[in-house]
Structure 1
Amino acid sequence: MKILLVGEYSRLHNSLKEGLTHLGHDVVIVSTGDSFKNFATDYSIAARFFERSWFLKKTAGALLKVTGINLFLTEKGLRFYNLLPKLKGFDHIQLINSDALETHPTLAKRLYKKLLQHNNSSLSLLICGDETPIIDYYLTGKLKYSVLTPYLKDNSLKSYFSYPLKYINKPYRNLFEWIKANAICLITSDLDYEVPMKAMGHNTIFIPNPINSAVISFIPPVVGNKVIIFLGINRMSYIKKGITYFEDALAEIAKKYPDTVEVIVTENIPYAKYITLYNSAHIVLDQVYAYDQGYNALEAMAKGKVVFTGAETEFTQYYNLTQKVAINALPDVDALVADLSFLIENPQEIVAIGTRARSFIEKEHNYIEVAKKYLEAWRLSNS
């Protein structure tokens, strides 16, 4: 098959491509690279013109602030339009999100229509992040917590949640509904999306994230004189991931264990650099408002790190786990301090959990086996 994967936010599509390619398929990725993360892509639609100089970036930013006209979104759409002559002959197209092109929703709909007209192919939509039904469900407040919990508690934080909340606006809602009507299937990547989609009455296929363990070296956990803790901060998702809880917990840990703990903190760095900076760490702090692991957490687990992330009851029950493969990070500083303290005082647990984490990734997230599940989902949905 010839397969087009549109969009990339976490390296999910790159790992899926590697699995599909291993199985003999021809795969092309089109994406923006997701800003500073700079993920690999075969064709880039990043807003390079308005990002190439300080003056152009500031000019476009000022125009957006004053008039609401977003030239960054416009450029991405135009770049995709110019690529359309090259995007032909595909048997299947998958969007990583309804906003996979990161352009104006009305323009995106026109571009998706043209893309389908250029290809006699089926279409699938991957639900692996913010999406209209996901945000609708989070806003009900029925979950004990979600990435919108800070906003639900304090509506004055609305400006920090402009990205997820855009999906409930009419243009984005219409775009999602159009894609859903034209897609043969909706696929969810983890339980943080499967649970809300099912609750909102959507028929979905749950396929765990693909992780290419072959290119992620397992680093056997060895704890020396100090326990090393890593926190990578993305300012765009700072509040929705509950990073303040980690920062407050680390402040307590620094006082409690001044000589036995080392903390590494990074901020807004490219993906290729990010995944090497935590190689020396024993513990990686990911996010608190989650039920399952996102992509960064899974890659850290593949390296043998103890990851503070989503590992709720729904997760352990789904995978029939009786031992910890990650730490369920709660939005509670005292709970985080207690969990960190236990690991610092019992380094053998760091070794045990890190080793189990790698085994879990190899068993449940093998990129080749996951790629087979995608192929089967597309085949059955298209029959």
Structure 2
Amino acid sequence: MENNDHLKILLAGDASSFHHTLAEGLRKLGHEAVVASHGGHWLDTGRDIDTGRRWKNKAGGLELWLRWQLRLKQKMTGFDVVSIATQSFIELRPHRAQAIYDYLRANNRSMFCTALGTDSNYVEECIDPASPIRYSEFRLFGAQSPLCKAQPSLVSEWLSEPLKNFGNHIWATADGAVSALYEYDVALRRVLPPEKIAYGGIPINVDDLQPVSLPDRIEKVRFFLGRYRGRYLEKGTDVMEAAARAVVGRYPSRAELIIVENRPYDEYLGLMRSAHVVLDQLYSYTPATNALQAMAYGLNTVSGGAPEFYDFIGEKELQPVIHVEPDYESVFRALEQTVLHPEAIRPRGLAGREFVIRHNHYLTVARRNLEFWQNRLAAAGRCDGRRGGACHE
């Protein structure tokens, strides 16, 4: 256990159990960590304070706002560090969310952002022709993505005045931000100076994800695809599924496809263990939570593993992700080569687990966050007490 300057930490909002896993790491290192989130809806991930919206209609928003006023706000004060999961940390309209943000900022020692999902600034980065992000769920090499073709108003909604104003308010007042992915780190550079940005990565509880024992040679490759209803186009699930079905159709005796949809978090992980190769995201530079969990199990993953990402984290040797370009042909070729060369699956899986331990172990990610938070607190002269507290030599 480590405990250098014990901190009381509130992690507000969550996605794919990111904050929940980060909190586990922070506690292991001797700090107090509280997660306030909606649990990812059907994922039902762990949280200490439930900030979920019970109904999707206006009544649900009113009920959550009243619950905040009457019960929740008292539980979310007096922390040394608060980090919100982007501007979508709570399911309320921007003006309500901003009021909660301002309350948290005024009644806690410091305010940070965990850049772990889409926000207005990230969308702006994705559609900027000068951005190093050449493809995303919003734009493919300068052209409209399938998601934006299907939802023509999506970008304008993210860039609406209320959302942009709220996002700008966060960047103007937060003490800093920690990025989960290479792409989010790039986007943060639009709005924050370098000293207010740190790369944390995605925390994976490797201790809980014991590796699967894969044979040296696999007779029939099992592909695994987790579908999230309503997010097929965003994740590129439609393209990956079509390519996987085509490969299985060509090699029916050598490959099969397992598909699961909208399962609770723990059940989903259990089902994943039965696979050899997990199909994750199409439009990503960086392996995200699903891919990293598969790698921790010693499975192969098809996802973002772009050269830009490996360069960003300084990794020259371990590059185990089966990286695909964002198109059908690239996915088909990658899956076909996996079926034709099953002897590569086990060593690639072993390298994948080593990669996760090296770069995404939840204690490593927790230490990165702690170091950044503590450095920012010291730089701001808030070494103890609430905002404006004095430092002691």
Q: Structure 2 length normalisation: TM-score?
A: 0.87
1:249 aligns with 2:237: no
Q: Say if 1:38 and 1:270, in contact at 8 Å, map to a contact too.
A: yes
Identify the residue that residue 49 of structure 2 maps to in structure 1. 43
**Deviation by residue 1:255-305 (Cα, 9 ceiling, x = unmatched):** 211112121001122212111111110000001101011111111111111
SS in 2 for 1:10: coil
SS in 2 for 1:27: strand
Map 1:227-266 → 2, pairs under 5 A:
227-266=221-260
Q: Say if 1:187 and 1:206, in contact at 8 Å, map to a contact too.
A: yes
1:376 aligns with 2:371: yes
Between the aligned partners of 2:167 and 2:280, the Cα distance in structure 1 is: 29
SS in 2 for 1:240: helix
Map 1:136-175 → 2, pairs under 5 A:
136-141=124-129, 142=131, 143-149=133-139, 152-153=144-145, 156-158=149-151, 162=154, 166-175=157-166
Q: Say if 2:281 and 2:304, in contact at 8 Å, map to a contact too.
A: yes
Identify the residue that residue 288 of structure 2 maps to in structure 1. 294
Identify the residue that residue 212 of structure 2 maps to in structure 1. 219
Q: Say if 1:211 and 1:298, in contact at 8 Å, map to a contact too.
A: yes
**Deviation by residue 1:120-152 (Cα, 9 ceiling, x = unmatched):** x10101111101211011122443211113782
Identify the residue that residue 11 of structure 2 maps to in structure 1. 5
SS in 2 for 1:251: helix
SS in 2 for 1:259: coil
AA aligned to 1:337 is F
SS in 1 for 2:369: helix
Question: How far apart are 1:33 and its partner, in Å?
Answer: 1.0
Identify the residue that residue 89 of structure 1 maps to in structure 2. 78
Map 1:184-203 → 2, pairs under 5 A:
184-198=175-189, 203=194
AA aligned to 2:81 is H
Map 1:287-366 → 2, pairs under 5 A:
287-318=281-312, 319-366=314-361
SS in 1 for 2:301: strand
- Percent sequence identity over matched residues? 28
Q: Say if 2:17 and 2:40, in contact at 8 Å, map to a contact too.
A: no
Between the aligned partners of 2:220 and 2:285, the Cα distance in structure 1 is: 30
AA aligned to 2:290 is N
**Deviation by residue 1:147-189 (Cα, 9 ceiling, x = unmatched):** 1137825654226x74x65331111111112222221111111
Question: How far apart are 1:233 and its partner, in Å?
Answer: 0.6
Between the aligned partners of 1:316 and 1:267, the Cα distance in structure 2 is: 30
Between the aligned partners of 1:325 and 1:153, the Cα distance in structure 2 is: 27
AA aligned to 1:378 is W
Map 1:33-72 → 2, pairs under 5 A:
33-48=39-54, 50=55, 60=57, 70-72=58-60
Question: How far apart are 1:199 and its partner, in Å?
Answer: 5.2
SS in 2 for 1:253: helix
Alignment root-mean-square deviation, CA: 2.0
Q: Which shifted more, 86-95 or 144-153? A: 144-153
Between the aligned partners of 2:120 and 2:32, the Cα distance in structure 1 is: 31
Between the aligned partners of 2:151 and 2:113, the Cα distance in structure 1 is: 27
Q: CA 1:291–1:226 in 2, change beyond 3 Å: closer, same or farther? A: same
Question: Residue 36 of structure 2: which of 11, 14, 30 is its match?
Answer: 30
AA aligned to 1:102 is E
Identify the residue that residue 180 of structure 1 maps to in structure 2. 171
**Deviation by residue 1:300-351 (Cα, 9 ceiling, x = unmatched):** 1111111111011102223323453111122222221221121112112111
Between the aligned partners of 1:240 and 1:278, the Cα distance in structure 2 is: 21
Q: Give structure 1 stretches of 5+ with no counterpart.
A: 51-56, 61-69
Q: Say if 1:287 and 1:329, in contact at 8 Å, map to a contact too.
A: no
Q: Say if 1:324 and 1:353, in contact at 8 Å, map to a contact too.
A: no
Question: How far apart are 1:91 and its partner, in Å?
Answer: 1.1
How many residues matched?
362
Greater share of helix residues, 1 or 2?
1
Q: Say if 1:3 and 1:93, in contact at 8 Å, map to a contact too.
A: yes
SS in 1 for 2:245: helix
SS in 1 for 2:371: helix
Q: Structure 1 length normalisation: TM-score?
A: 0.89
Between the aligned partners of 1:92 and 1:323, the Cα distance in structure 2 is: 34
Q: Say if 1:233 and 1:267, in contact at 8 Å, map to a contact too.
A: yes
Question: How far apart are 1:78 and its partner, in Å?
Answer: 3.1
Between the aligned partners of 2:377 and 2:302, the Cα distance in structure 1 is: 39
1:206 aligns with 2:206: no
Q: Say if 2:282 and 2:304, in contact at 8 Å, map to a contact too.
A: yes
Q: Which shifted more, 265-274 or 13-22? A: 265-274
Between the aligned partners of 1:128 and 1:238, the Cα distance in structure 2 is: 19
Q: Give structure 2 stretches of 5+ with no counterpart.
A: 1-6, 379-393
**Deviation by residue 1:77-118 (Cα, 9 ceiling, x = unmatched):** 333332111223211111011120121110111122223333
Q: CA 1:175–1:189 in 2, change beyond 3 Å: closer, same or farther? A: same
**Deviation by residue 1:41-87 (Cα, 9 ceiling, x = unmatched):** 11112123x3xxxxxx7xx3xxxxxxxxx333343333333211122
